[in-house]
Structure 1
Amino acid sequence: MPWRACGKYLSSAGILLLPVLVFSQLLKHSLMVAIDLWLAKWTSDTISNTSSSGCTTQNCGFDHSPYSMVFIVLSCLAIIMCLATSSAVEWTGLRVAKKLHNSLLNAVILAPMRFFETTPLGSILNRFSADFNTIDQHIPATLECLSRSTLLCVSALAVISYVTPIFLISLVPLVITCYFIQKHFRVAARYSLYKNYTPP
C-alpha cells in the first residue's frame, strides 16, 4: 500500500479524532511502562529490605499496601485506557469508512456516461463490496495492531536503555541489521508475487 493511500485514510479521520487516537495510544503504553517500572521498584525495595533485615517477608510481616495500592490504580487506569483506545480505533474506522463511501458514491453518481461505458459494472460493484469490506473490517484492526506493536517495541527499548544504558551501543547495529533484513524480505515478497502472478 503506498504512503499516499495511508495518508488519505488517516486524514479522513478528521482533525480531532486522529489526535485523540494517537494520544490514547501513547497514554496507554505510558501506563504500561509505568506498571513495569513500579513492579521493578517494588521488587527491588522488597529484596533490599529483606536482605538488610535478614529475614523473609513471611516472618517479618512487611506491609506492601502502598505498593499494591499504586499497582492497582495503575492497572485500572491501563484497563480503562485499553478500552478507550479500542473504542477510538473502531470509531475512527467507522468514520473513515463512512466518509470514503460517501466520496466514492458521489464520484460514481456524478461521473459522465463515458465512465459507465468504459468501466465494467462488476469493477464498480467490487469497489463498494470487497474493497469496502477491507476498509471496514481489516484496516482498523491492522492499524491498531501496527500502532500497538510499534509502541511496545519503542517502550521496551526505552525501558531497557534506561535500566541498562550500555544497551544503546548495540542498538545502532541492531537497527541497521533489522533495516536490511526487512528490505530483503520486502524484495523477496515482491518477487514471489511477480513469480506467482498469472495474467487473466
Structure 2
Amino acid sequence: MLRRRVALTVALLTVAALLAALMPWSGSGAADKPKDTTAGTLEEVHQPTAVLLPSSGTVAEYVPNAAEVEALAKLIYGEAGIVPSTTEQAAVVWCVLNRVDNPRFPDTVLEVIEAPYQFSGYDPEYPVKEEFALLAADVLARYRAERDGEENVGRVLPAEYCFFTGDGRRNHFTTEWKSTDCFGWTLESPYTD
C-alpha cells in the first residue's frame, strides 16, 4: 500500500513539475488575484493542506491528463480560490466531473469547463497554483478509481450535484440551476480543512 501511495505521489508530482515547466507563472498581474477583494488575499484566507491520496491499487498507474489538471486548477483558482476549505475546493472539481457523467452536458472535462456561460470564475489566463494543480490531480485520481469500481474513494460531492453558485466566501452546490436546496456536506472528506 505504501508503495502504491509513493507511486501515485510521484505521478502527481511529475504532473505538477510538467505544469510548472510549461506554464508561465505570473507574480503580480491582475489575473493573479481572485475577483473578490473583500476576503483578503488568497494566501491570507487559505493555507495549503496536504492532499490525501486514495489507498487503491488501480490508481497508482494512472497519471491525470495535464491539460485537464491545468484547466481544473485555473477553475479552482477562479471559483474557489478564496474558499478556506480544501473539501469545498475539491467539490468544484467533482461538480465538473459530475457534468462529464451527465448526458445534459459535454463529455470531457475541458468541454465542460470551457462551455459558454457555465463557469464565470474560469479564465484560461489565470495562473496554475501548485496546490490547486495537486488537488485537481488528486480528485481526478479518485474519480478514476471510482470509475474503475472502487468504493469510498473520497468523493466529497454526490453525483447528482452539477451546479453551484457563490456568495463571495462559499460555494453552494445544487442539483438544478438556481435551486435553493443546497448540498449539506454530509459526505466524509478525505481532506483536512
Q: TM-score, normalised by structure 2?
A: 0.28
Bigger proportion of residues as strand: 2
Bigger proportion of residues as helix: 1
Structure index of larger Rg: 1
Q: TM-score, normalised by structure 1?
A: 0.27
